[in-house]
Amino acid sequence: MLDKLNQHIDQVFQANVDLVELPELELRFWLVDSAIENRMYSPEQVENIWGNMPYWAFAWSSGRALARYLLDHPELVKGKRVLDFGAGSGIVAIAAMKSGAKEAWACDIDELALVASEENAKLNDVVLQTCTEIQQVEDIDLLVVGDVLYDPRNHQLAEQLFSQKKPVIWAESRAQTKLSQYGPVADYQAHTQPNLGGFDEHQNIHIYHHEI
């Protein structure tokens, strides 16, 4: 399975995945080699990168902050069935399992993200379930989501999440979302790893709760 991840990273970045320690979480992940931070890509290569962006190959700031929040507050997930929507690397789902969740699902439309989530779960001695749609999973107690609602074009995702009639905990790197009416319950500082260009401008992460 790791070969599939490496093949895609090579096609997009001409690089490989690398084993990376995230010390603030005490977790390990397969991420794209940080050497890409210092490379110069042609306009054509940049277009290819954004057209085939492997979101699962980065530890995004909001995902890191939300993972840390769950580790700081294990009572939020202990004994629950948790679904990580837009899971990417599976970082939040893995943190949920480490915090005592009964079961955690990595949910992502990118099949390679599900592969990455499973591989990262192995690195951290937990087991994740995977799915491509929320509707595929029954009896979820809690939805968690990191940084997919900051863009106004994604606000329809909020409707999809909240229509599930399940509690939601999410993290956002921007406060201008219409969801700001809920008010953040916590703030964290985190950065994206590796950092390409402007990725790291979003380091102030807000944590929100939506209760039913």
pTM of the model: 0.92
**Pairwise CA distance, residues 157 & 134, whole Å:** 11
pLDDT in the model for residue 163: 73
Residue 114 structure tokens: 């599900």
pLDDT in the model for residue 127: 98
pLDDT in the model for residue 150: 62
Contact 100, 78 (CB under 8 A): yes
Which CATH number is 139's domain given? 3.40.50.150
Task: Indicate whether 5 belongs to any domain.
Answer: no
Task: Indicate whether 117 belongs to any domain.
Answer: yes
Task: Indicate whether 80 belongs to any domain.
Answer: yes
Burial class (CB in 10 A: 0-12, 13-18, 19+), 37: middle
Task: Indicate whether 124 belongs to any domain.
Answer: yes
Plot region of 63 (φ>0 → left; ψ -120 to 50 → alpha; else → beta): alpha
pLDDT in the model for residue 77: 98
With CA atoms as reference, report the closest residue to 84 among 28, 123, 21, 69: 69
Task: Indicate whether 8 belongs to any domain.
Answer: no
pLDDT in the model for residue 181: 63
Contact 44, 72 (CB under 8 A): no
- Which domain does 97 fall in, by range? 55-210
Q: How many domains does the chain have?
A: 1
pLDDT tens, the chain, 212 aa long: 888 999 999 998 889 999 999 999 999 999 999 988 888 888 888 888 888 889 999 999 999 999 999 999 999 999 999 999 999 999 999 999 999 999 999 999 999 999 999 999 999 999 999 999 888 998 999 999 987 766 666 667 767 777 778 899 989 886 555 555 667 889 999 989 998 766 666 788 989 888 76
Task: Indicate whether 113 belongs to any domain.
Answer: yes
